[in-house]
Amino acid sequence: MKRVAVTGGTGMIGRRVVDALRARGDEVTVLSRSAPGTVHWEDPVSEPPPPEALTGRDGVVHLLGENVAQRWTEAAKRRIRESRELGTRNLVEGISGLPAGDRPKALVSMSAIGYYGARGDEPVDESAPPGDDFLAEVVQAWEAEAGRAAAHGVRVATPRAGVVLAPDGGALAKMLPPFKLGVGGPVAGGRQYVPWVHLDDVVGALLFLLDGGEGAYNVTAPTPVTNKELSKALGRALRRPAVMPVPALAVKTLYGEMALIVTTGVRAVPKRLMDAGYAFERPDLDDALRAAVG
């Protein structure tokens, strides 16, 4: 049995991580701003978490971060960056402030496939250099803050999650309404790659890395697909047509700069995760989508 602290444990991914940890017999401490039954970390951007939430834990799974899927106003971009960079900096400060024998032994700090920026159709593993757009810069700063924990004797892993397919949120929440009406289809030509991953495998990979793993890992399905292929597969899962194209201009008008996430892509592959022996629960897109949409 492990004693594990989870930040962001009330979010879409966090709830499933907490359930999975408890199901295997681990003792879980959930940190949140105000949710009942959790240890309250009132302001992660400006203060470390309460010491009692971290003392004597075997590991920390760090999932806090402002939602990226919103229009990127200057205020939103500041929240996105600060929630990750400063929130992680304060978490590491809290860890480093503990006596050496009381510090968590491992930190699994969520990261994102946005690290690489737009990469066309070249297969991209963890050896690829970072991109230079807004999200790539945020992810680099995010990972750098997590990496500081290594200087305090903590093993650090940074799972770079792709586009998460989940039944109760994430990318599908925005895709489902038009597809259910039969007016869904490929976006911006549909040739851009989508580094998709089912929520089951995000949770599975996080627990796998909590038990052993260091450095960056792409948490994406073994076979990325194009946006057009994803659209067709979602249409099959819903038994709806998926032929109505969505122009790039329409997405940019709706989302502004954030549209880059949808109109460009990266063909990310989970080389390090597979080399480490992780067995994907849902490597097939059709199966993953059927599970996600019920």
Is the predicted pLDDT of residue 259 greater than 80, yes or no? Answer: no
pLDDT at position 60 over 80 = yes
Structure confidence at residue 266 (pLDDT): 95
Please provide the DSSP assignment of 168-208 as one string: TEHHHHHHHHHHHTT----BTTS-SEE-EEEHHHHHHHHHH
Which burial class, exposed, middle or buried, applies to 76 when counting CB atoms under 10 A from its CB (0-12, 13-18, 19+)? middle
Residue 55: in which H helix or E strand, if any? Answer: none
Number of domains in the chain: 1
Which CATH number goes with the domain that contains 104? 3.40.50.720
Query: Would you state the structure tokens that stand for residue 284, as one six-digit string?
Result: 């097939």
Query: What residues make up the domain containing 209?
Result: 3-293
Indicate the SS3 state at residue 121.
coil
pLDDT digits (tens, 9 = 90+) for 9-27: 999 999 999 999 999 999 9
For residue range 99-116, list pLDDT tens digits in order: 999 999 999 999 999 999
Tell me: pLDDT of 168 over 90: no
Q: Give the Cα separation of 93 and 58 in Å (integer).
A: 17
pLDDT of residue 254: 63
